Structure 1
Amino acid sequence: MKYFPTIENIKKAAINIQQVVDVTPLSSSLRLSKQYEASISLKREDLQSVRSYKIRGAFNKISSLSAEERAKGVVCASAGNHAQGVAYACKHLGIKGTIYMPAVTPKQKVEQTKLFGESWVTIVLEGDTFDDSYKAAKEYCESQNKSFIHPFDDPKIIEGQGTVGLEILNQTKKPIDYIFVPVGGGGLASGLIGVLKSMSPNTKIIGVEPEGAPSMKTSIDNTINTELKNIDKFVDGAAVKRVGDYTFAICKDNLHKMVTVAEGKVCQTILDLYNRDAIVVEPAGALTIAALDIFADELKGKNVVCIISGSNNDIARTAEIKERALLFGKLKHYFIVRFPQRPGALKEFVAEILGPSDDITHFEYSKKSNKENAPAVVGIELKSPSDLEPLVKRMKENNFFGEYLNDKPDLFQYLV
């Protein structure tokens, strides 16, 4: 598809959206700069008016509609952040909107969408993934002859997102060596490319997406836009089965590298940002920082920018985030423990099998009616990954070991 975002159109978008968009800070990170021996700054789109950059593209697109198109209303599909941007734009411009969101969208994002759109928007929860919602939204949109506001694959959307790049260049006096950008459908990365290719061509742009939804990386590797059959929906702001045709064409030739990071690593990054920097981010917002260590050697002495794309996280997800982080860090382990049929076996397990810093965090008998002879599913949190091998050895030597569940995903999902 023959389209590339021009710097002229991105500058027009910047003027167009300034009535609703905040110029977000570009803040130096002392912790990350020290850790990677580089100058690392964070573009804080988590502090945007709707707590993500998505308002930029949404407002730029909707405000470009004709009076006739506005009167008919708009439709969009979104995992959450684009929905909030569309809702905000609809209310500001006085346009009716119908917003389709996956049924699994965090409640916090649904409530925020209602808050920003008020009576101007109707929310429809449909399907398990963005792609399910997208299909339903497109069918409704065509049947009602309304305008569809695509979350990423639209020139006006791409140009609106590109204004993030303009701000970054205006906020730093030093040449930027690397910019890390989160990739879901590719709209932000494509807009950023439009700016940097014109104004900072030596900057290396690194795209980052979740390991469980590598739609852009897979497409680039295959040299054709490829739809994934299954994805991990945890990083909901960046979990799509298929990237856009416009965005793929732009990104495949202009990203320096496209990498993925494990969801568990994203979770640990979320916890680190909260505990050490007092920054609240959603999973997609942590992608760029989670990828830094992949390039640790390259970054030394360089000027680096990480885009934090959003902060629309639901506190109800905290337990899952901590769990995934511990599993990724090899600190949380699940076993089927077969207690020997002898008196005091459970007491022996706690006193003699567990190490001094091991902690039982999950315990459930598999048979409620015959606990004395039943195996149990036991979750154990360790202080160090190196504590696992001696723990397993003690369990086997004393006939407690049944099965290790962490490396049996089907059994793990069923039992835990």
Structure 2
Amino acid sequence: MMDTAKNTQLDFDAAFARLNGVVKNTPLEYNAGLSEKYECEIYLKREDLQVVRSYKLRGAYNMISQLNEEQLSRGVVCASAGNHAQGVAFSCKKLGTKGVIFMPEITPKQKVKQTEMFGNGNVELVLTGDTFDDCLKEALAYTEAHNMTFIPPFDNYRVIEGQGTVGVEIMNDLPDVEAVIMPVGGGGLAAGAGSYFRQQKPDILLIGVEPEGAPSMVGAFENNGPVTLGTIDRFVDGAAVKRVGSLTYELCREVLDDMLLVPEGKVCTTILKLYNEDAIVVEPAGALSVAVLDLCKEQIKGKKVVCVISGGNNDIERMQEIKEKSLLYEGLKHYFIVRFPQRPGALKLFVNNVLGPGDDITRFEFIKKTSKENGPALVGIELKNAEDYPALLQRMEAHRFDVIEINRDQTLFEYLV
């Protein structure tokens, strides 16, 4: 493994100077609620307040600004799920070069529009493929065919160096920081900022966190090198990649003390809490560092801790999906196939005697259109407390309602809900 303290490929101070006046020195905010809950001092590094609402601008501008005139005249290409695209678009406008940006077809509309806005006529967008990895292949082929420069989202020393300036700012604002928690997608932020922290404070606790449905860095750690995951959950789109970078893996392996996984439902609960309690709008990847606190509370107890809020590009149209995933994860929402007894008043009995006083039917539809009176129905129920669920099942059984718990059958759930 490389000695990051002596790695001459990374000059974070030079990158910090290069980005001066281009990126915001984002706030480092003390969070009283989280600090009290986890018995430590927790600060949020607010990269959601960055110029393009994510840290990705740092790496993109740091690399593009070092291209020579000939390279800039030919233009640049990138592949991105959204935030890197916005960083590249902003950089293209700032530096007066053309950019062609490939994004997955499932990229939220908000991120597509923001990319167009930041590029302001300097970029062309190409939506292709279902994942970042799909559009990456197309972008690389286009780059070669048109003799342009590819701007990687994470696996490049100049990009890693730029992302590392997040660490420079944290150290400037909180020199006695003792632990830092960073989200991991391709690994650029954790590799860059982690390397800088390790140079400055060898004993600092560094924790990386990924979504449970896209454990690419965890998989790389377990296999002693990057691996390509067969399938991933794309929900945490800013951190959902099938394969981490070779450079980022080597650096993360060297500098991180731990790599943790967080369920997507827990991420959703965190998004809602940050919004409702702190008026902070984060995207799913931006919530990872806070969502993981329950899993590392013993490690951080009594320490000065920084959680990097990596981005705030969250499409308002996703909020209903986020709320739904949160309720399911918290055990507050359940779906059933209910076969009502063929006797008068069965539905009324279900509503009056099976549902608890705090329960609410959020969805009801008969599955078979030809037998609406006594056929099976899809029923969604939201509970006031997760602990009420066993009693609900007992009342269903006591009143002879035949039910199938859809939440326990992922295939059935995806098909019907």
TM-score (normalizing by structure 2): 0.98
SS at match of 1:372: coil
Which residue number in structure 2 is paired with residue 53 of structure 1?
55
Counterpart in the other structure of 1:314: 315
| C-alpha contact (below 8 Å) 1:56/1:157 kept by paired residues | yes
- The verdict on how the C-alpha distance between 1:321 and 1:8 changes in structure 2, with shifts beyond 3 A counting, is closer
Q: Match of 2:156?
A: 154
Matched ranges for 1:263-282 at <5 A = 263-282=264-283
Q: Which residue of 2 aligns with 1:222?
A: 223
Tell me the CA shift for residue 85 of structure 1: 0.2
Q: Deviations over 1:22-49 (max 9, x none)?
A: 0000000011001111010000000000
- Alpha-carbon deviation of 1:20? 1.2
Structure 2 counterparts to residues 8-407 of structure 1, below 5 A: 9-173=11-175, 175-407=176-408
Alignment partners' CA distance in 2, 1:3 and 1:34 = 37
Runs of 4+ in 1 over 3 A off after TM superposition: 1-8
One-letter identity of the residue aligned with 2:58? R
Instruction: Report how far residue 104 of structure 1 moved.
Output: 0.3
Q: 1:18 and 1:80 mapped to 2: Cα distance? A: 23
The two structures, once aligned, show a CA RMSD in angstroms of 1.3
SS in 2 for 1:324: helix
AA matched with 2:82: G
- Which range is displaced more, 5-14 or 344-353? 5-14
- Tell me, in whole angstroms, the C-alpha distance in 2 between the residues paired with 1:373 and 1:260: 44
Farther off after superposition, 176-185 or 290-299: 290-299
CA deviation vs aligned residue, 1:122-176 (integer Å, no higher than 9, x gap) = 0000000000011110111111111000000000000000000000000014x22
TM-superposed CA distance for 1:198, in Å, is 1.2
Distance 2:291 2:9 in 1: 30
* Alpha-carbon separation, structure 2, partners of 1:402 and 1:300: 44
Structure 1 residue 2, shift from structure 2 partner: 6.4
Secondary structure of 1:76 counterpart: strand
AA paired with 1:27?
Answer: E
Amino acid at match of 2:380: G
CA distance in 1, matches of 2:269, 2:98: 40
Give 2:345's aligned amino acid.
G
Query: Distance between the aligned counterparts of 1:3 and 1:135, measured in 2?
Result: 32
Please report how far the alpha carbon of residue 298 of structure 1 lies from its aligned counterpart in structure 2 after TM superposition. 2.6
AA at the equivalent of 1:359 = D
Q: C-alpha separation between the residues in 1 aligned to 2:284 and 2:185? A: 12
Cα distance in 1, alignment partners of residues 183 and 8 from structure 2: 21
In structure 1, C-alpha distance between the alignment counterparts of 2:124 and 2:3, rounded to whole Å: 32
- Cα distance in 1 for partners of 2:188, 2:225 equals 17
Structure 2 letter corresponding to 1:246: L
Q: What SS does the corresponding residue of 2:267 show, helix, strand or coil?
A: helix
Q: How far off its partner does 1:203 sit?
A: 0.7
- AA matched with 2:161: E
Distance in structure 2 (CA, Å) of the matches to 1:170 and 1:383: 45
8 Å Cα contact 1:213-1:241 kept in structure 2: yes
Partner amino acid for 1:230? T
**Secondary structure at 1:169 match in 2:** helix
Q: Which amino acid aligns with 1:89?
A: S
Identical pairs, percent: 57
* Cα distance in 2 between the residues matched to 1:299 and 1:111: 39
Q: Do the aligned partners of 1:7 and 1:194 also contact (CA within 8 Å) in 2?
A: no
- Partners of 2:33 and 2:402 lie apart in 1 by 42
Residue type of the alignment partner of 1:233: R
**Structure-2 change in CA distance of 1:8 and 1:318 (3 Å):** closer
3-state SS of paired residue (2:407): coil
- After superposing the two structures, state which structure 1 stretch, 323-332 or 396-405, moved more: 396-405
